[in-house]
Structure 1
Amino acid sequence: MKVVVIGGTGLIGTALVARLTGHGHEAVPAAPGTGVNTLTGEGLKEVLHGADVVVDVSNSPSFADDDVMAFFTTSTGNIAEAAEEAGVGHYVALSVVGTDRQPDVGYFRAKVAQERLITESGLPFSIVRATQFFEFAGGIADTATTGGVVRLPGAGVQPMAAAEVSAAVGRTAAGPPVGGVTEVAGPEVFGLDDWVRRVLAARADPREVVTDPRAPYFGAVPGERDLLPGPGALLAETTLATWLARS
């Protein structure tokens, strides 16, 4: 079948296109670099012509509250409209575990708005919520660094490898619409502070990670379980130690 991957040239999208192609599907990457702009609608109707599935793994270029909200609401509205016109039978979107528990985080508010637009679009849909990617630990450390010290709370996280995120999205895209949310997570639970500390140590990064219960995570202090998946989440296999050894 033909699967159009919005954000198909990014970290998850590139792996997803390769995975779907390897399983015999026609996977088409759609991004500004391929002539498709979901904010303006440029190239969107053309790329969705004849598509069976559209998968959105795109991300906002700016995480400022107003920017990220504008990106996801505008982009999702345009995709849904074009998908309906093209007769696309399945709309799959990648979201984040805990989006509905962190209303003080602008990015999460925007993801909730995106999910709502998809569920109310009338299109058959599936939403895949994933936990933090192992690959993002360094970036999280950078945003939490002041004076060479990383301050993070000990809230629980269950991070996973980006490759297994793309695999979960790919399985969903190849299957029937779920009509709801599926959660995917890594096999181990860490404190946010301990996870980042382990990654920095493995990379010989000299920064000290200090546990601070009042430290924010992207603008808000998470509760102990706010970033963890609920019961029934699908668990990936790759452990942090295995991923670090490979990377």
Structure 2
Amino acid sequence: MTRLSVNINKIATLRNARGGNTPNVCEAAINCERFGAEGITVHPRPDERHIRYQDVRDLKPLVTTEFNIEGYPNREFINLVLEVIPDQVTLVPDPPEALTSNAGWDTVENKDFLINIIKEFHDAGIRTSIFVDTNLTNIEGAIATGTDRIELYTEPYATNYPKDKEAAISAFVSAAKRAGELGLAINAGHDLSLENLNYFYQNITNLAEVSIGHALISDALYFGLENTIQMYRRCLK
């Protein structure tokens, strides 16, 4: 069974555009779970342009499914994760000024860096996942870091899906197969949508979790949040 984790960053973006507390991020997370989400994902950035560090603290006692915090592991982020103790932390290699995550880790070049950080999280009992592309060298290198999971960066798949879905999925099938051989559980995220999610799910048979934010929250403007979450869950069956 593949779990659907809803990334609520865009709820926070809308709130921050006006100030105040509307829409309410905590209420949105509670509703996402009530409507069928099996996890909540947040990605706090140093400039707090969407999810704020305090949001992460406020959400921790409210999330009853799986709480996933993703971000670049600078010391401030590491300290926040160790304070909150989520179910999972997902490490992404994007610098603070990046608009959104746009690449996976070079797990060979960053091996020692990732080993030390992942050990800190494991010592606190937190499951780890690291963002990687479909380069098999990086997937094989992930094992040496000690990570529990990898999250496949799916923007290339989403971009190429409308042109040739078989070609778009090919590298991801190979990457998932190799990860499975190595004993790595697989997550996925970034630009997965109602259009392309089911095909990805059908072809990546060992998919543990998808984390979806931008497309899902955008779809909710048209279909409503409850209906949208159920539509995405149907894509995972």
The two structures share one fold, judged by TM-score above 0.5:
no
Scaled to the shorter chain, the TM-score interval is 0.3 to 0.5
**TM-score (norm. length: structure 2):** 0.36
Structure number with bigger Rg: 1
